[in-house]
Structure 1
Amino acid sequence: MKFIIADDHPLFRDALKRTVASLFPMAQLIEADTTASLQQRLEAADDLDLLLLDLHMPGSSGFSGLVHVRARYPSLPVIVVSGNEEPSVMRRAIAHGASGYIPKSSSLEEMAQAIAGVLDGDVWLPASAAGSQQTQLAPDEVDIAERIRDLTPQQFRVLMMLADGLLNKQIAYELNVSEATIKAHMTAILRKLGASNRTQAVVAAARLQLDPSMRMVEVIEED
């Protein structure tokens, strides 16, 4: 079996590795510490059985990383791992396609139960959220999730860098491409998101924040 463990915190990533290894001693464990490295691992691997995904991975924002992964790899079960223990956040993760949710405060036994349950085809939530009412996503959140699913991996990376406040020339430098390429990506991103400018694109992406009230960084408009 093959598992991807995607978390930027090395200590928690190691804890997940030990838990998975104890359940499946012969499993191949693949690690990623950023959204970009996760995309590379997903593209390079085949016959994956499970992804353990941190919601706060560098290179993604809120539920955006989960939404994009689920769109490109719909048959791959995803368990979200997060320090956020709000039942509403857990239920929203499930509504966005996660098969399970593991709070980072969980015991190794609870982690093992979650992994085993999801691999058996179940949806797993901790007791604090399992009995709560099913979360219905707001129409605008459903709409932007559907639009983000249509972005290519490179367009997704550009959008997340844009949300972090980077200018076109900075994004081009980080991705080692020309500014003209970034402008072409921006044109496609705006079209797919139904936005007319960079600010609207960032506001749209902000709808997938864990806390919808969280403010995004100021976006500087460029020609």
Structure 2
Amino acid sequence: MSSAAIRKNVTDTGKYDNQESRFAVIDSRKLERECFVRVIKASHTKLSITAYGSVQEWSEGPDREGPCVILLNIGGRRVGMPAVASSLQRLVAEAEDTPVIVLSESEDLRDMIAAIDCGARGYIPASVGVDVIIDAACLTSAGGIFLPASSLSALREAISKDTDRPLGIEQHFTSRQAAVADALRHGKANKSIAYELNMCESTVKVHIRTIMKKLRASNRTEAAFKLNALFPKEHDPAN
């Protein structure tokens, strides 16, 4: 469903006309807090929003159980900061079933994951517009979890980089051991490996013993089989 369709559906069902339409925003920066509230009210006149300067202020407020969504704006701070994480965890615990969404200037995937780990039901970077914030609030109040599209792009890029790396070669062997291992998996004899890599044959034997020990292989054939699983296919000239 598109963003416009979500907003239309919420409006048609009258959600903005009842008590469930109340939002709470928590932001320690007074100017940013007041500007945010005015922008939300100007674009969504039927939406009620109450602002607080801290989690403590919200906790002590008379209508803390009123909002259907709580927006915690941390600005330029990072969720990974102990003070921010502690404040978020406290808010989530006290909010109970009321979803908490983190607003932040950071688009780092690690911050998004940290926010979800702390119990937040959504993470919104400062690069999005007001309508996205409203859509995210609607989604989380319905039981969903919201993350921006940029998080998917970052995750796809991270997976792509991980796939492009040799599968465990650097983690298991030194550069010289890896060169010997590559030759070993192609069935080359010690003398040939020594000649190609400009090593003494005795050095090649030491490397092979080390490689077999790390692989827990009992013979060269077993070692070659396990090495083929470690080397990426594109590393093999035959492919």
User: What is the TM-score normalised by the length of structure 1?
Assistant: 0.50
Structure with the greater alpha carbon radius of gyration: 2
User: What is the TM-score normalised by the length of structure 2?
Assistant: 0.47
- More relative contact order, 1 or 2 (CA 8 Å, 6+ apart): 1
